[in-house]
């Protein structure tokens, strides 16, 4: 898990987003336990409180459940609902990018070229 101190996104949110992505991608299966709060905090060299906040967010979103004395495990997922959530997130991000491009005076063609270039870079990195 890669965390960035300079991204402007809180660390707990980065952790929650990373787990959410992994859960939705099937890297964590239904019933599988996540790393303990303490071990994750130790591995990432962050506060236990930060890790707990990330897990609490995932629990509020219905992705995981706390099991007394055992930790947090992955809930069964409604894949259609989760895919729709991802689509909405992409749409929101793209709308934000369009607004920023308008402010910066970037044309529609330039914006499409930028998106194509970023998609190619991402493809190479994965």
pLDDT tens digits, 72-115: 999 987 767 777 877 888 999 999 999 999 999 999 999 999 99
The reply to whether 90 and 49 lie within a common domain is no
Residue whose tokens read 């967010």:
57
pLDDT of residue 122: 86
**Does the pLDDT at position 46 exceed 80?**
yes
Q: Where are the beta strands (DSSP E) in the chain?
A: 64-67, 71-74
The reply to whether 93 and 65 lie within a common domain is no
Instruction: Among 49, 74, 99, give the residue marking a domain's end.
Output: 74
- Where residue 125 falls among pLDDT bands split at 50, 70, 90? confident
Residue 105 · residue 98 · CB < 8 Å = no
pTM for this predicted structure: 0.65
> Mean of the per-residue pLDDT values for the chain?
90
The reply to whether 63 and 83 lie within a common domain is no
**Does the pLDDT at position 65 exceed 90?**
yes
Q: Residue range 3-21: average pLDDT?
A: 90
Instruction: Evaluate whether residue 6 is within a structural domain.
Output: no
The reply to whether 88 and 120 lie within a common domain is yes
pLDDT above 90 coverage of the chain, percent: 63
Cβ-based neighbour number of residue 12 at 10 Å: 20
**What domain range includes position 120?**
79-125
Q: Residue range 15-35: average pLDDT?
A: 90
pLDDT of residue 114: 94
CA angle 64, 45, 43 (to 5 degrees): 60
């Amino acid at each position: 898990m890669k965390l960035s101190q300079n991204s402007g996104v809180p660390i707990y949110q980065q952790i929650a987003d990373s787990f959410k992505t992994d859960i939705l991608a099937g890297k964590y299966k239904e019933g599988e336990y996540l790393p303990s709060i303490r071990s994750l905090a130790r591995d990432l060299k962050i506060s236990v409180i930060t890790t707990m906040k990330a897990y609490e967010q995932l629990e509020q979103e219905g992705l995981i459940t706390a099991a007394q004395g055992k930790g947090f495990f992955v809930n069964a997922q409604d894949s259609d609902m989760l895919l729709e959530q991802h689509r909405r997130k992409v749409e929101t991000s793209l709308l934000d990018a369009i607004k920023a491009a308008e402010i910066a005076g970037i044309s529609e063609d330039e914006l499409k070229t930028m998106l194509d270039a970023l998609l190619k870079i991402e493809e190479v990195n994965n």
